[in-house]
Amino acid sequence: MSNSSSARGLSTGGATRIQKRNRAAILDAALDVFSTHGFRGATLDQIAGAAGLSKPNLLYYYKSKEAIYTALLEALLDTWLDPMRALDPEGDALGEILAYVRRKLDMSRSHPRESRLFANEIVQGAPHIHNALAGDLRALVDDKAALIQSWIDAGKLAPVHPHHLIFSIWSLTQHYADFDVQVRAVLGDEDPFAAAPGFLDTLYRRMLQP
């Protein structure tokens, strides 16, 4: 390979790395802006400024505010479903549910911005991900609800409505991210995640122990 060819290869590789870095910076900045202001309140200028890029540079990577928002939501929904996908039909029924609760709570602690972004989208009527909610999400929830019902029928869990059990887990775990300001205002200096795991473990263990 000639020196000129090598230089072109390095240049191309460098541009690719820069593009990946800039895309990541845009999405991270957009996550902050959207989770704080919602889709309607966010602007491209805010996102570009938070990413350290000019608005024309941002538009080189994403053609619109909606394109950025949709990219974030699609990645988020996939990540959000991972803890549910991990429910093991061959595992101990009560242990699997309690582990799922812990995974969801851990996500609220490690991904608070993502949780608030998702909550904002739902509050607005899910205009950007309604099809995904009615499709992939519903299919997965129905599958896991059927698994939970099979555990109940086998006497491995106390009788509960499987779908409403899942809804309650979402509500109780995501509350710590979506209402973080309220929770911390009430608790003061106490870490919200210090006592939450034990409380939720006790709550669901007592509810579901056959």
Condensed to tens digits (0 to 9), the pLDDT of residues 75-114 reads: 888 888 999 999 999 999 999 999 999 999 999 999 998 8
Please give the structure tokens belonging to residue 97: 């549910």
> Topology of domain 1-63, per CATH?
Arc Repressor Mutant, subunit A (1.10.10)
Question: 137 φ, ψ to 5°?
Answer: -65, -50
Q: Is pLDDT at 6 greater than 80 in this prediction?
A: no
| Distance separating alpha carbons of residues 101 and 179, to the nearest angstrom | 18
| Architecture field, domain 70-210 | Orthogonal Bundle (1.10)
Q: Is pLDDT at 39 greater than 70 in this prediction?
A: yes
Q: Is pLDDT at 11 greater than 70 in this prediction?
A: no
131-148 mean pLDDT:
94
pTM over 0.85: no
Q: What is the DSSP letter of 155?
A: T
- Per-domain residue ranges for the chain? 1-63, 70-210
C-alpha distances out from residue 176 to 62, 83, 203, Å: 32, 17, 16
168-182: pLDDT as tens digits? 999 999 999 999 999
Of the ranges 6-20, 37-51, 183-197, which one carries the lowest mean pLDDT score? 6-20
Q: Which amino acid is at 210?
A: P
Of the pLDDT bands very low, low, confident and very high (cuts 50, 70, 90), residue 15 is low
Which H or E element spans position 28?
helix 3-41
CB 93 within 8 A of CB 165: no
| Distance separating alpha carbons of residues 47 and 32, to the nearest angstrom | 8
Q: Is pLDDT at 189 greater than 90 in this prediction?
A: yes
